[in-house]
A and B are shown apart, each in its own frame.
Chain A
């Protein structure tokens, strides 16, 4: 829902890098978010296309990589990734009810640019 604010942050980072490195064109932007971050790739792309109006951003693509959900076992403190369904037991010790580790952080991973 707040993808436009996120896009403004992304554009700020691109502008800072452009001033520092002087590239002429951005080809692609790779964004990463924690599993529980409340942003979706589709609306992030929509907002990026609407807001990225400057010539050096024209045609640039954006991709979002969502990190897998991470769980922690309350008994043995083992940490593990879970892809889709919530695990009922710790894969290490078998104790029930592992807790999700809630991470939302949104990062710009990389830019693909032309000099």
Chain B
């Protein structure tokens, strides 16, 4: 006997993602899900972002890594509340683990903006909704401008493309126009924000973006 279904396989995860949106909405908090390769500069971006938002907007961070709490320690040193999730054998964060982390953070803090730093990976994290307001694709110039075309799912779903390590641009063959052309093929509207987390170059548009997200991101 054949049973026809057409049922979504990731529905259990998506149910938790909806729960996370219900949890964040009354708290007036928006969640941004940062996705990029290992070494793309996600943690450095967060460190500089926390510094830039100090005294302007309460921020919290959920760190996802296969192992260690190194990133959480780095974020903690910048004074932001942080919860580390170790995924062990998992290549991405799931919405139920993020739910537990949100409860822990919000038990003692009232963030308006929650950053999730996903496991370093351009592939798997893109398929798992965490209940975020938006996914942010983080790509460093050192990785090459072809990555946008090679991993279209993440870039098509992103609310912004942050291009990091701008100061290294003269030492790479990264072509900004080519990255932009590839990105626009799969994503017509999301802003492209090139910046450097060491020097702070380009942080103005990024900080404007996250402040707008905090204002409009109550989903």
Q: Is B156 in the interface zone, CB < 8 Å from A?
A: yes
> Within the assembled complex, what's the spacing in Å between the Cα atoms of A31 and B8?
10
Q: Of the candidates B5, B10, B121, which one forms a contact with A9 in the assembled complex, judged by CB atoms under 8 Å apart?
A: B10
Q: Is B2 in the interface zone, CB < 8 Å from A?
A: yes
> Within the assembled complex, what's the spacing in Å between the Cα atoms of A13 and B127?
18
Q: Of the candidates B3, B8, B89, which one forms a contact with A106 in the assembled complex, judged by CB atoms under 8 Å apart?
A: B8
Q: Mark A102-115, 1 if CB is under 8 A from B, else 0.
A: 10111111111111
Q: Is A59 in the interface zone, CB < 8 Å from B?
A: no
Check if A102 sits within 8 Å of B157, measured CB to CB.
yes
Q: Is A46 in the interface zone, CB < 8 Å from B?
A: no
CB distance from A79 to the nearest CB of B (A): 15
Q: For residue A108, which residues in chain B have a CB less than 8 angstroms away from its CB? A: 5-7, 9
Check if A107 sits within 8 Å of B6, measured CB to CB.
yes
CB distance from B130 to the nearest CB of A (A): 13
Check if B92 sits within 8 Å of A13, measured CB to CB.
no
Q: Is A63 in the interface zone, CB < 8 Å from B?
A: no
Check if A102 sits within 8 Å of B156, measured CB to CB.
yes
A1-B91, A38-B126, A100-B152 known; A112-B1 Cβ under 8 A = yes
Check if A36 sits within 8 Å of B9, measured CB to CB.
no
A17-B3, A100-B186, A109-B4 known; A9-B9 Cβ under 8 A = yes
Check if A1 sits within 8 Å of B124, measured CB to CB.
yes
B-side interface mostly? mixed
Q: Who on chain A is nearest to B89 by CB?
A: A4
Check if A37 sits within 8 Å of B9, measured CB to CB.
no
A-B contact number at CB 8 A: 96
The residues in B between 117 and 156 inclusive whose CB is less than 8 angstroms from any CB of A are: 121, 123-124, 126-128, 152-153, 156
Q: Who on chain B is nearest to A110 by CB?
A: B4
Check if B7 sits within 8 Å of A38, measured CB to CB.
no
Q: Is B13 in the interface zone, CB < 8 Å from A?
A: yes
Q: For residue A10, which residues in chain B have a CB less than 8 angstroms away from its CB? A: 9
Q: Of the candidates A5, A97, A110, which one forms a contact with B5 in the assembled complex, judged by CB atoms under 8 Å apart?
A: A110
CB distance from B110 to the nearest CB of A (A): 32
Q: Mark A71-104, 1 if CB is under 8 A from B, else 0.
A: 0000000000000000000000000010110101
Q: Mark A53-68, 1 if CB is under 8 A from B, else 0.
A: 0000000000000000
Q: Is B94 in the interface zone, CB < 8 Å from A?
A: yes
User: 19 extra interchain contacts, Cβ-Cβ under 8 A, other than A1-B124, A9-B10?
Assistant: A5-B10, A9-B9, A9-B11, A32-B6, A37-B127, A38-B123, A38-B124, A38-B126, A38-B153, A106-B8, A106-B9, A106-B10, A106-B127, A108-B9, A109-B4, A109-B6, A111-B2, A112-B1, A112-B2
Closest 3 CB pairs of A and B: A102-B156, A9-B9, A2-B124
